[in-house]
């Protein structure tokens, strides 16, 4: 096959072709390295790449090796918040600019065991803080649909690598939309699983830190589902685990009569730039055309209470996780301002504050569970702003209304994150400037297969990721 054919295929197609020996992993790697050489310089999505000949050696070994799993011989780049054995892993921080792990984190180990060949890392903001992928180690990742615009974050490098056909499938992580925002801004799919389905490391606190999770990204929903099968499954060393399912074989669903609730701008509580809600409503009409019942839903819980809970718990977790670095003046001087602010806010949280925030979180979980008695899924925009200029650190205002924190403009993400719900970012097309946007469709905890199946019907009807970026 021609190089363009190989890099344009889905991971599912590549996996089938490699398994049937119609294509060799070395052919896929050669095509992948050629694509990275051609486009990565413009977007800076894939970083810390090993020597090309070393990667070709690994691919040639996979040519002859027994099939390891679904990812056998498939090139992948792992988000730079995940440790990968033998490949520089920095967390975007100058404190770890030369760090090369001796062992894989659990997520990387699972993907490697399934046969993936790691070609490097995908770029991310320092410590994953902020939905704009820039850091002092690797620089900024640019949006391939507008090189003067942000790619989002924190899984910005992963989303761009997918959009540019440098990889066919990718991992990401999500606390405040880091799988969902960059997927929407790069015209691909990103899935935040139910909390516990994709377990983390048995490191630090694993009982209170339940708002962030890792998950899959891809250009097709089937690839998302099949990578989720690789990533999912209980880690007995951490609590709240959930068993995986054959998600890729459960993508059929009848949409006629399904009920979908549209939450929009949360009853006017959030500022949203012009055109975003209209594009999402056009996406919702795709579901309506398939026979689903789509209707607006009034704001189901006070936005200001959700924000208080989110800010309190997030800050406390960041302060606890990074207090040792902060206590060292030399290290503190090399931490970015937004991360310092998080740590300092968290240090002020009292036991009473944290308890009040946790009660709000608990009440919201109960309230949204009752909503799902009436709806099969709920929908929100994937962002409140269009991809902004790459030189900005973050949007200072929306519609003339000042944003009081570096992440307030991503408030639309917190209802899902607070409750730990399964959520798929769906592309909804392009705005007046040719920039992509998305909407997030989510269901009750544990309904991952249902959300993915609904997303699959949408993908079959639209295939927005088939519209390649101008950089290609």
| pLDDT at residue 2 is higher than 70 | no
Q: Are strands 117-122 and 75-79 parallel, antiparallel or unpaired?
A: parallel
pLDDT band of residue 240 (cuts 50, 70, 90) is very high
Percent of the chain with pLDDT over 70: 99
| pLDDT at residue 204 is higher than 90 | yes
Mean per-residue pLDDT, 315-326: 94
Which of these, 307, 384, 315, 305, lies nearest to 348 by C-alpha position?
315
Each residue of 106-160: pLDDT tens digit? 999 999 999 999 999 999 999 999 999 999 999 999 999 999 999 999 999 999 9
Q: What is the reported pLDDT for 5?
A: 87
Q: What is the reported pLDDT for 4?
A: 52
Mean per-residue pLDDT, 465-470: 97
| pLDDT at residue 249 is higher than 70 | yes
Give strand ranges (E) for 242-292.
259-262
pLDDT band of residue 267 (cuts 50, 70, 90) is very high
Percent of the chain with pLDDT over 90: 99
CB 43 within 8 A of CB 142: yes
CATH topology classification for 3-466: Amidase signature (AS) enzymes (3.90.1300)
- How many angstroms separate the CA atoms of 235 and 408, rounded? 33
Q: What is the reported pLDDT for 210?
A: 96
Mean per-residue pLDDT, 233-248: 97
Q: In whole angstroms, how far apart are CA 383 and each of 24, 329, 350, 438?
A: 40, 36, 31, 8
Each residue of 27-82: pLDDT tens digit? 999 999 999 999 999 999 999 999 999 999 999 999 999 999 999 999 999 999 99
Mean per-residue pLDDT, 318-342: 95
Q: What is the reported pLDDT for 327?
A: 96
Q: Are strands 259-262 and 377-381 parallel, antiparallel or unpaired?
A: parallel
- How many angstroms separate the CA atoms of 370 and 348, rounded? 34
Q: What is the reported pLDDT for 1?
A: 56
Q: What is the reported pLDDT for 9?
A: 98
- How many angstroms separate the CA atoms of 267 and 303, rounded? 9
Please give the positions annotated as active site.
79, 154, 178
Q: What is the reported pLDDT for 208?
A: 94
Each residue of 343-400: pLDDT tens digit? 999 999 999 999 999 999 999 999 999 999 999 999 999 999 999 999 999 999 999 9
pTM: 0.98
């Amino acid at each position: 096959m021609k190089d363009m054919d190989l890099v344009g295929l889905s991971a599912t197609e590549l996996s089938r072709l490699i398994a049937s020996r119609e294509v060799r992993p070395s052919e896929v790697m050669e095509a992948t390295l050629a694509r990275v050489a051609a486009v990565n310089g413009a977007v800076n999505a894939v970083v810390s790449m090993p020597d090309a000949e070393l990667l070709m050696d690994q691919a040639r070994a996979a040519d002859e090796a027994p099939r390891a799993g679904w990812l056998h011989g498939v090139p992948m780049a792992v988000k730079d918040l995940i440790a990968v054995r033998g490949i520089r892993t920095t967390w975007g921080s100058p404190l770890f600019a030369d760090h090369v792990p001796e062992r894989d984190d659990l997520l990387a180990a699972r993907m490697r065991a399934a046969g993936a060949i790691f070609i490097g890392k995908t770029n991310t903001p320092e410590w994953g803080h902020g939905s704009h992928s820039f850091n002092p180690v690797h620089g900024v990742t640019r949006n391939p649909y507008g090189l003067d615009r942000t790619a989002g974050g924190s899984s910005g490098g992963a989303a761009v690598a997918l959009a540019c056909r440098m990889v066919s499938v990718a991992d990401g992580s999500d606390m405040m939309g880091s799988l969902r925002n960059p997927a929407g801004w790069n015209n691909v799919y990103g899935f935040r699983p139910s909390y516990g389905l994709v377990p983390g490391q048995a490191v630090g606190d694993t009982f209170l830190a339940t708002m962030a999770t890792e998950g899959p990204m891809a250009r097709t929903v089937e690839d998302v589902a099949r990578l989720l099968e690789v990533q999912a499954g209980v880690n007995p060393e951490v609590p709240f685990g959930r068993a995986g399912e054959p998600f890729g074989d459960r993508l059929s669903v009848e949409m006629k009569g399904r009920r979908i609730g549209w939450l929009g701008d949360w009853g006017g509580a959030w500022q949203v730039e012009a055109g975003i809600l209209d594009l999402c409503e056009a996406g919702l009409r795709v579901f309506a055309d398939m026979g689903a019942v789509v209707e607006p839903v009034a704001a189901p819980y006070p936005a200001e209470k959700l924000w208080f809970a989110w800010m309190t718990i997030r800050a406390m977790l960041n302060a606890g996780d990074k207090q040792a670095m902060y206590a060292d003046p030399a290290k503190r001087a090399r931490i970015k301002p937004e991360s310092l602010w998080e740590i300092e806010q968290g240090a002020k949280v009292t036991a009473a504050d944290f308890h009040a925030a946790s009660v709000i979180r608990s009440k919201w979980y109960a309230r949204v569970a009752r909503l799902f008695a009436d709806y099969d899924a709920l929908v929100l925009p994937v962002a409140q702003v269009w991809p902004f200029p790459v030189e900005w650190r973050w949007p200072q205002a929306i519609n003339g209304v000042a944003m009081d924190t570096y992440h307030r403009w991503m408030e639309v993400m917190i209802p899902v994150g607070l409750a730990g719900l399964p959520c798929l970012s769906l592309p909804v097309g392009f705005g007046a400037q040719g920039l992509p946007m998305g909407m997030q469709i989510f269901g009750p905890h544990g309904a991952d297969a249902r959300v993915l199946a609904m997303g699959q019907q949408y993908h079959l009807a639209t295939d927005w990721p088939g519209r390649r970026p101008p950089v290609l």
